[in-house]
Structure 1
Amino acid sequence: MKFPMLELFKSKMAERYDCHFCKESLFGKKYVLRDENPYCVKCYESLYSNTCEECKNPIGCNSRDLSYKDRHWHDGCFHCFKCHRSLADKPFSTKDEQLLCTECYSNEYSSKCYECKKTIMPGSRKMEHNGNSWHETCFTCQRCQQPIGTKSFIPKDNNNYCVPCYEKQFALQCVHCKKPITTGGLTYHDQPWHKDCFLCTGCKEQLSGKRFTSRDDFPYCLNCYCNLYAKKCAECTTPISGLGGTKYISFEERHWHNDCFNCKKCLVSLVGRGFLTERDDILCPDCGKDI
Structure 2
Amino acid sequence: MAFTGTLQKCKACDKTVYVVDLLSADGVPYHKSCFRCSHCKGTLALSNYCSMEGVLYCKPHFEQLFKETGSYNKSFQSPSKSAEKQPALTRAPSRVQSMFSGTQDKCATCNKTAYPLEKVTVEGQSYHKSCFKCSHGGCSLTPSTYAALDGILYCKPHFSQLFKEKGSYNHLIKCASIKRS
TM-score by length of 1: 0.30
TM-score by length of 2: 0.44
Greater Rg, structure 1 or structure 2? Answer: 1
* Higher-helix-fraction structure: 2
